[in-house]
């Protein structure tokens, strides 16, 4: 939950993995043996990936898959979008490398080819809890009647980009709950507290 009781002082290294699988088109009913099913190859690759929460610091996911044009055609191409992240950069890098290797190997066992693009969007962030940024956030939340605690998350925020470029930035919530779900909501009382906190942040920053 994006609650007001926490101040995020650390985030993960984040890697995106974009995959294009190239097979061979054929008629599925008349001559399927002449085709190479790109969807099947992609599915096999995904099935062999370690996904979900791998440990307290590390996660991996496949969020999008597309492929094929018609029901009775062996699909010539398929694509899927994956990601991995960890609070330890070396673990995220190793996982991204492992995922790429698994994808290529599994796809090739079906006679297909895989084009895999791996990109590191940001490196792990760890802001000292006694920094001006965190202390200021705590003071602002205190004004709203909240005793906030510093924490790390494996979610990705724009603050990581700023921190990677030398601009220290912590993250405070606005009170939203169950984000990215159909039940996402926020209580009015939390919105009011968030407003108080924002005003106090501005005042403290101007001192």
Least confident of 7-16, 20-29, 74-83, 168-177: 168-177
pLDDT digits (tens, 9 = 90+) for 183-207: 999 999 999 999 999 999 999 999 8
pTM: predicted TM-score of the whole model, two decimal places: 0.86
DSSP count for the chain of H helices, then E strands = 5, 11
pLDDT attached to residue 173: 87
| Contacts of residue 110, Cβ cutoff 8 Å, sequence gap at least 6 | 23, 36, 37, 40, 41, 44
Check residue 70 and report its DSSP letter.
-
What's the CA gap between 95 and 59, in Å, rounded? 9
Per DSSP bridges, beta strands 149-152 and 6-11 are: parallel
Least confident of 49-63, 65-79, 106-120, 153-167: 153-167
pLDDT attached to residue 76: 98
| Greater pLDDT, 205 or 113 | 113
* 155: Cα within 13 Å, side-chain hemisphere: 13
Mean pLDDT for 152-168 is 93
Domains and CATH numbers, the chain: 6-11+125-206 (no CATH), 13-121 (3.30.70.360)
* 35: Cα within 13 Å, side-chain hemisphere: 20
Least confident of 18-27, 110-119, 138-147: 138-147
pLDDT attached to residue 66: 98
What's the CA gap between 48 and 103, in Å, rounded? 8
Burial of 154 (0-12, 13-18, 19+ CB in 10 A): middle
Provide the mean pLDDT of the chain.
95
CB 81 within 8 A of CB 18: yes
- pLDDT-derived band at 180 (thresholds 50, 70, 90) equals confident
- pLDDT-derived band at 179 (thresholds 50, 70, 90) equals confident
- pLDDT-derived band at 2 (thresholds 50, 70, 90) equals low
């Amino acid at each position: 939950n994006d609650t007001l009781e926490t101040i995020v002082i650390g985030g993960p290294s984040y890697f995106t993995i974009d995959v294009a699988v190239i097979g061979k088109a054929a008629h599925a009913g008349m001559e399927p043996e002449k085709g190479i099913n790109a969807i099947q190859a992609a599915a096999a690759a995904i099935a062999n990936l370690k996904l979900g929460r791998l440990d307290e610091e590390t996660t991996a996911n496949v969020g999008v898959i597309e492929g094929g044009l018609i029901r009775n055609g062996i699909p010539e191409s398929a694509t899927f979008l994956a990601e991995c992240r960890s609070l330890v950069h070396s673990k995220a890098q190793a996982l991204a490398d492992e995922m790429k290797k698994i994808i290529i190997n599994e796809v090739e066992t079906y006679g297909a080819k895989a084009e895999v693009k791996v990109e590191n969007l940001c490196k792990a962030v760890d802001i000292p809890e006694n920094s001006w940024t965190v202390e200021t956030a705590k003071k602002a939340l205190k004004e709203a009647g909240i005793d906030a605690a510093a924490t790390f998350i494996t979610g990705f925020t724009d603050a990581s980009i700023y921190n990677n470029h030398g601009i220290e930035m912590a993250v405070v919530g606005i009170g939203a709950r169950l984000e990215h779900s159909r039940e996402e909501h926020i209580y009015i009382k939390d919105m009011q507290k968030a407003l108080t906190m924002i005003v106090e942040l501005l005042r403290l920053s101007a001192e």
